[in-house]
Structures are given as structure tokens and as C-alpha cells.
Amino acid sequence: MVVVLFFALSSIPVSFSQRFVTLDTIDIFTTHELFNTSKPTVYFRCNGEGSVYLPDVKEANFVYTFKGKESWQPLTELPENKCKQCGLYGGILIEDTYDDWELCSSDFKDGKCTHFKQGQFRATFLCPNCTASNSSASAVIVIIALFGVYKYCHRKRDQQDQSRSKEQEQEQDQARSKESKEQEKDQAGNRN
């Protein structure tokens, strides 16, 4: 039972795993360059973290697809129950904002989240371990249920052991009582 409990606990990665966010696709619709150059400078940043420059994004109106293994990935790591203020920015000399938004684990459905800003960009982010917060509650319920089953089985086994022990004691008492009666008969027969 302990082995089953161990495997069950190790198969629940949801609430204890890292929530790395990677960029899956991006399509920018406009550039934010001072002289409207064809090669935009685009980067992603969350408050309190460094900027992640997206070197592959070189032109507007083109869908870029990434594998999540690029040297600049992951973009950020999300906490389980908190959101981060993140944004997509552009420009070399003057920083301009494509959009700022709250990025939360609960935004990801089946590990995917799409953010769209009219006239600016569309981006799809991946976070395989990000889900709605009920997943950690499910993990806790599974752990409690497995522990309850373990305790129930352990208690049942103890009750059976106690029952067997009582039966053995009763059988031993009956055997002693029978022996004692036979010895009394033998002694009474020897006196006569």
C-alpha cells in the first residue's frame, strides 16, 4: 500500500511543478520604431524581471512559431496563485508599449493562452503546468483519499489480527480447562 501511495503522489506533478511560460507564436501587426523601420525590436517583460528580447521577430504581419527551446526561452515563471503584470514592448531609442496585461496560471486552458491586442499583436503562450487552481485541490483530494484508504486497510487488518488472537486465546483456555479437568479425574481415580 505504501508503494501505491508513493507512485500516486509522484504522478501528481500539478501543484509542485514549475510553471514556465514560453512563447509559441507571435504576429505583430505594427512596429513601434521611431523611423518606422521594417525590422522591429520586440521584447517581453514582467514587472521586476529583465526584458526578454525576441531576436527572431523581424517584420510585421508575419506569424512566427517557436519550439520553446530557443536560448531566450522561457519568458517567465508564474506562481501558482498569483498573477504577474507582463507586457510586450518595442522600440530601440524610445520604449513603446504594445500591451500590458495580467498573466495568470488560470489563463491557460490545456496549457495554452492567447493574448490579442487590436491593431498591435496576437501571441500564444504555452505553460504545460499552468492550469486553473482547482488542479491543486484535486491533487490534495487524491492524497487525502489514498491516505484514508491506507488507514482503513490498516485498521481492518488490525481488527482481524485481534480477532484471531482472541480465538487462539479462547482455544488455549479451553484446552487448559479440559486438561485441568482430566488431571482432576485422574487424581480422583488415584485416590480411590
CA distance 179 to 181: 5
| pLDDT of the residue at 127 | 94
Higher per-residue pLDDT: 123 or 41: 123
Instruction: Give yes or no for a contact between 113 and 125, defined as CB atoms under 8 angstroms apart.
Output: yes
Q: pLDDT tens digits, residue range 131-176?
A: 754 445 555 666 777 777 777 777 888 788 888 878 888 888 777 7
Share of the chain above pLDDT 90, in %: 37
> Mean pLDDT across the chain, nearest whole number?
80
Residue 80's CB is within 10 A of a number of other CB atoms, namely 17
* DSSP reduced 3-state for 90: strand
First-to-last C-alpha distance (Å) of the chain: 64
Give the global pTM: 0.59
> What is the structure's pLDDT at 118?
93
Distance in angstroms (rounded) separating the CA atoms of residues 51 and 98: 14
Q: Which residue has the higher pLDDT, 102 or 163?
A: 102
Q: State the angle between helix axes of 2-10 and 134-191 in degrees (0 to 180), rounded to the nearest 10.
A: 180
